[in-house]
Amino acid sequence: MTIAPEATLTAAEILARAKALAPELRERAAEIERARRLPDDIVEKLRDTGIYRAGFSHAWGGPDLSSLQELEIIEELSYGDASAAWCAEVCAHTGHFARYLSETAAKEMFPHLDIITAGALFPVGRAERVPGGYRLAGRWTFGSGVTTCDWVISGAFIYRDGQPDPSPDGQDPHDSRLFMVRREDVTTLDNWETTGLAGTGSCDYTITDVFVPEEHTLVFSTLLDPACRRNEPETFMRSLPGVPLGVARAALDHVRELATTRRYPNGDRWADNRRVQTIIAECEADYNASRHGVRGALLRLEEVLGDNGTLDDLTVDERAALPLSRLHAFRTARSIVTRLYDLLQTASIHRASPMDRWLRDTTTMCQHLFAQERILQSGGAHLLGGTPEFGLCLGIAR
């Protein structure tokens, strides 16, 4: 059922819709993977859950989801299919981006709450200043969701008369911004052939000399809707651990269900085997610890933001826990799936087995920046009073 534009959905309703959709996503996971993008009807089914409106506040008529609520919804979708959940999470930030735009521009760009925004945030494009805005050009990689979105958001360095334009405060010798461009002004390249997460359609895309008005650009250091205290520069990162956590939970439930029916050739129950019991217990312990780490870091953040605080009000340890818990969730999920894959032995290797896809999906998602050493360096540098290489993962916009 399509959501009426004026309908108001609660977090519980969106979660229930996501949970109801998960079995179909599981059934169609192979189809999604073969397509190397989300089928159009799956995009609309995700739209009907309400996930794409997750970032819109009550002032917009949105659900104003907390980061924990959004995390739980992504976990449910990932329990069905990792690619669908990945795109849902990436494309659910239109409401967050709207807070960095003027209200007039945001209302014009997003006439209803279920608008999809996708793209690549790192500044690899080129934006030449012109009267009233910029001429944007470039090629971006890893554009998860760009094949099915309404707006494409892209990072680019700014030039003036062909020369690098410094930031207004003089702190950055080459300024950069994020640019919002309509999907029809973007060309996608069919080059998404990967080990896993194949259904995300995270292909390269190009933009060629497109005019972007000033009001369709933003920087995370300038929040134009300060009424929403939940919004910080790293808001869009908070629920992505829901993808690996949902896959790990799906894999654990799959193997535990198999254990109740499988028997060895001599008739002994598989579930009575000491090795099986030990591996399941170890994986459950790792899953629970990782999930609680992510949730604990988010819960503390929400307590601070809910009390009109900011990221700066977190302790050094609490702030570092945000990116470090995310990284740990990715790596732990991969470890859990790998151990379960080995436990099932040859039963895992067939494409018909979901273990095969979960192994490839968790392997691929761990190549994402959020699971890489740069996050460890940034967290460690913050803990030790140094300079993080990727300050944005800590909510440091510059």
Q: How far apart are CA 67 and CA 78, in angstroms?
A: 16
**Backbone torsions φ then ψ of 208, nearest 5 degrees:** -120, 105
SS3 (DSSP) at 341: helix
pLDDT for 332 beyond 50: yes
Q: How far apart are CA 248 and CA 340, in angstroms?
A: 10
The pLDDT value recorded for residue 147 is: 93
- Model confidence band, residue 255 (pLDDT cutoffs 50, 70, 90): very high
Among candidates 36, 385, 95, which has minimal Cα distance to 239? 95
CATH fold match for the domains 11-98 and 241-394: no
- Model confidence band, residue 168 (pLDDT cutoffs 50, 70, 90): confident
For 292-318, what is each residue's pLDDT tens digit? 999 999 999 999 988 888 899 999 999
* Contact call for residues 159 and 129 (beta carbons, < 8 A): yes
pLDDT for 61 beyond 60: yes
* 286 residue type, one letter: D
pLDDT for 226 beyond 70: no
pLDDT for 238 beyond 60: yes
The pLDDT value recorded for residue 167 is: 82
State mean pLDDT over 273-279: 96
Q: For the domain bounded by 117-218, which CATH number is listed? A: 2.40.110.10
Q: DSSP assignment, residue 269?
A: B
How many other CB atoms are there within 10 angstroms of residue 166's CB atom?
14
Q: How far apart are CA 330 and CA 370, in angstroms?
A: 8
Mean pLDDT for the chain? 94
- In sequence order, what are the beta bridge partners of 151? 117, 182
- Model confidence band, residue 1 (pLDDT cutoffs 50, 70, 90): very low
- Model confidence band, residue 231 (pLDDT cutoffs 50, 70, 90): low
pLDDT > 90 fraction of the chain, expressed in percent and rounded: 85
The pLDDT value recorded for residue 9 is: 93
Give CATH superfamily name and number for 11-98.
Answer: Acyl-CoA dehydrogenase/oxidase, N-terminal domain (1.10.540.10)
Comparing 79 with 223, the larger pLDDT belongs to 79
- Model confidence band, residue 236 (pLDDT cutoffs 50, 70, 90): confident
Among candidates 158, 137, 157, which has minimal Cα distance to 207? 137
pLDDT for 6 beyond 70: no
Q: Domain spans of the chain?
A: 11-98, 117-218, 241-394
For 340-381, what is each residue's pLDDT tens digit? 999 999 999 999 899 999 999 999 999 999 999 999 999 999
The token pair that represents 380 in the structure block:
């460690």
Q: Yes or no: is domain 241-394 CATH 1.10.3720.10?
A: no
The pLDDT value recorded for residue 365 is: 97
* Contact call for residues 28 and 42 (beta carbons, < 8 A): yes
SS3 (DSSP) at 221: coil
State mean pLDDT over 228-254: 89
pLDDT for 228 beyond 70: no
The pLDDT value recorded for residue 229 is: 57
**Backbone torsions φ then ψ of 159, nearest 5 degrees:** -125, 150
Among candidates 231, 280, 277, which has minimal Cα distance to 252? 280
**Which segments of the chain are extended strands (E)?**
117-130, 133-140, 151-160, 163-164, 176-182, 187-188, 205-213, 217-218
State mean pLDDT over 34-54: 96
State mean pLDDT over 327-345: 97
Picking from 35-44, 260-269, 362-371, which range would have the lowest pLDDT averaged per residue? 260-269
Give this prediction's pTM.
0.94
State mean pLDDT over 46-64: 94
